[in-house]
Chain A
Amino acid sequence: MQDRLHILEDLNMLYIRQMALSLEDTELQRKLDHEIRMREGACKLLAACSQREQALEATKSLLVCNSRILSYMGELQRRKEAQVLRKTGRRPSDSGPPAERSPCRGQVCISDLRIPLMWKDTEYFKNKGDLHRWAVFLLLQIGEHIQDTEMILVDRTLTDISFQNNVLFAEAGPDFELRLELYGACVEEEGALAGAPKRLATKLSSSLGRSSGRRVRASLETAGGSGSSPILLPTPAVGGPRYHLLAHTTLTLAAVQDGFRTHDLTLASHEENPAWLPLYGSVCCRLVAQPFCMTQPTSSGILKVQQAGELQDWVRVHGVLKGTNLFCYRQPEDTDTGEEPLFTIAINKETRVRAGELDQAVGRPFTMSISNQYGEDEVTHTLQAESRGALQSWMEALWQLFFDMSQWKQCCDEIMKIETPAPRKPPQVLAKQGSLYHEMAIEPLDDIAAVTDILAQREGTRLETPPPWLAVFTDQPALPDPCSPASVAPTPAQTHSLPWGRPRTFSLDAVPPDHSPGASHSVAPLPPKRSPQSRGLCSKGPPHTWLQSPV
């Protein structure tokens, strides 16, 4: 049976490759080939690795590759269909309305993703001392582009899952649909829970008779594989970790805002699922979009502008239409040198543009006027293009801009900032996480040096400053941190500030800082292994800049 599956798999791969070749779509073909190779690599890695964490990472890569392959295949099929339709349906009656205006594309970036959790108190009392852990990651998809976040280990000391990634989609239309999927898997071997289906399978297979039993067993093995159709891309190892879809949601242009928003999650799994996590049911994120019409100049050329109010005074400028402004520079070179434009004409949703022979410009052909309303006044600029063709192209550019603004709506009010994502750190070998409470047996009770050495080895160079909790032992005031988390109970002697990024609220199980002397290993749980990135107000540490801005 396994052989037959292998043959089917190979045939499928061949089919996929053939489709890509026949379409002569080199870019998609290249991407598909890349994913197929990545997939093979991930399969080999999965078969070879021994540690659970490595297996989790490899399985995640496998899942991402599978999803990407499926989406590329879907895209290939769509393009193939479109090609076929174009070739066959060429009758005059079929030609539709004249080419409609299509909106410009843009960049879409989602960052600061945070999913709150809701632990029930039974979770604490049920498995005391045994820290149940999960590996989770997000899959984000627009069209056929799929991106994934890093994998994060979650246990009951965390109140939410925070991803530090900035995920950027380079080209998306205003009608984009960003599908967000949360996958999770148990870190520990799925002992008793996963054993049940397998035992059931062996029982079934032995009682049903050999051939049918084997078929049932095979289908049980491949079912529940990483979310994709099992026959097409079966998961290789049965004993390996399995990711389950925990929740999903879809975000569109309406959700875009230059700030944080909370969206509802559709939960997809239930308590019997071994990888089930108590999700609160929402996700917070910052979803921004930068349409290209805002960031790139859409039109430029020589214009003569009539000074508002003076009939005969026309100024020759180099106009550049970018975003919601028409910048008028003295010379074309000024755009590059960073010189301020002579003046700027605003173009927004309320601007009115007229072309043709105007009263204000008697005797001057190829003119257009742009009017804006400022409070009670109306300001009109009259511009003259160099030729009829130039006027046409300016009008066209302006109409396109108005169309884009109507499509991209709130994204055109102001340019939303997109931070360039930091280069992805190579996946580190995960040390088993847990609080110091569980793992470190510090024999010499008061040996601070031993503690810091162990920590330093584990964390590498992340602890630049001596951790503030050290002050607990040396009776020195902790370094003042501009943002000490409000939730850590302030103990009398020293308020304990934590050395990492976003303030974390600690749930019941987290060990509070214990100031009693002699209790050497009661310190706060280990900071997450990600190095804190500066985000927002609280996490920068002492500020090093003194910015100045013009107003």
Chain B
Amino acid sequence: QRVEIHKLRQGENLILGFSIGGGIDQDPSQNPFSEDKTDKGIYVTRVSEGGPAEIAGLQIGDKIMQVNGWDMTMVTHDQARKRLTKRSEEVVRLLVTRQSLQKAVQQSMLS
């Protein structure tokens, strides 16, 4: 699923309105959203109400695969955070995947 988020200006910062968890330097077994507990990808852990992320359709539990073309499946937590908070970018385009999407894909493959 492709999600396009326009950042909101808040004072000095451009914020997206969600929180991320995960990374290759983190302990994946503590991730409440992943099905596979060795998945070290970046997951959306919280979406602020009324924030740009929610408006754009991002959901909690989404796994972020790409940000503006940059891969997010093999990055550290800090690298992920930096890629999302680049000051020069007003819009971030995320490629995310969701449990429901994954199941739909699996089902269509089986049938």
Which B4-51 residues sit within 8 Å CB-CB of chain A? 9-13, 15-16, 18-28, 30-31, 45-46
Residues of A near B90 (CB, < 8 A) are 375
Contact partner of B12 (CB less than 8 A), chosen from A324, A482, A545, A548, is A324
CA gap between A543 and B77 in the complex, in Å:
12
Indicate whether A547 reaches chain B with its CB closer than 8 angstroms: yes
CA gap between A34 and B26 in the complex, in Å:
46
CA gap between A397 and B82 in the complex, in Å:
31
* Residue contact A551 to B23, C-beta cutoff 8 Å: no
Contact partner of B77 (CB less than 8 A), chosen from A341, A375, A549, is A549
Residues of A near B73 (CB, < 8 A) are none
* Residue contact A325 to B11, C-beta cutoff 8 Å: yes
Indicate whether A338 reaches chain B with its CB closer than 8 angstroms: no
Which A503-551 residues sit within 8 Å CB-CB of chain B? 537, 540, 542-551
Indicate whether B95 reaches chain A with its CB closer than 8 angstroms: no
* Residue contact B11 to A544, C-beta cutoff 8 Å: no
A343-B10, A537-B76 given as contacts; is B15 within 8 A of A546 (CB)? no
* Residue contact B81 to A544, C-beta cutoff 8 Å: no
Indicate whether B85 reaches chain A with its CB closer than 8 angstroms: yes
* Residue contact B27 to A542, C-beta cutoff 8 Å: yes
- Nearest residue in B to A326 (C-beta to C-beta)? B11
CA gap between A348 and B90 in the complex, in Å:
19
Q: How far is the CB of B22 from chain A (nearest CB, A)?
A: 7
CA gap between A547 and B11 in the complex, in Å:
25
Q: How far is the CB of B46 from chain A (nearest CB, A)?
A: 7
* Residue contact B19 to A549, C-beta cutoff 8 Å: yes
Residues of B near A546 (CB, < 8 A) are 21-22, 26-28, 30-31
Residues of B near A344 (CB, < 8 A) are 10-13
Contact partner of A547 (CB less than 8 A), chosen from B13, B24, B77, B85, is B77
Residues of B near A551 (CB, < 8 A) are 15-16, 18-20, 81, 84-85
CA gap between A324 and B23 in the complex, in Å:
30
Q: How far is the CB of B28 from chain A (nearest CB, A)?
A: 7
* Residue contact A548 to B11, C-beta cutoff 8 Å: no
CA gap between A273 and B11 in the complex, in Å:
60
A537-B25, A545-B26, A546-B30 given as contacts; is B20 within 8 A of A346 (CB)? no
Indicate whether A345 reaches chain B with its CB closer than 8 angstroms: yes
- Nearest residue in A to B90 (C-beta to C-beta)? A375
Residues of B near A348 (CB, < 8 A) are 12
* Residue contact A547 to B21, C-beta cutoff 8 Å: yes
Residues of A near B9 (CB, < 8 A) are 374
Q: When each residue 462-484 of chain A gets 1 if its CB lies under 8 Å from chain B and 0 otherwise, what string results?
A: 00000000000000000000100
Residues of A near B28 (CB, < 8 A) are 546
- Nearest residue in B to A543 (C-beta to C-beta)? B27
Q: How far is the CB of B83 from chain A (nearest CB, A)?
A: 9
CA gap between A543 and B19 in the complex, in Å:
20
- Nearest residue in B to A548 (C-beta to C-beta)? B21
Name A residues whose Cβ lies closer than 8 Å to a Cβ of B: 324-325, 341, 343-346, 348, 374-375, 482, 537, 540, 542-551
Name B residues whose Cβ lies closer than 8 Å to a Cβ of A: 9-13, 15-16, 18-28, 30-31, 45-46, 76-77, 81, 84-85, 90
Q: Which 3 A-B residue pairings sit nearest by Cβ, starting from the closest? A: A344-B11, A346-B12, A546-B30
A-B contact pairs, 12 of them (CB 8 A): A325-B12, A343-B10, A343-B11, A344-B12, A344-B13, A537-B76, A543-B26, A543-B27, A545-B30, A546-B30, A548-B45, A551-B20
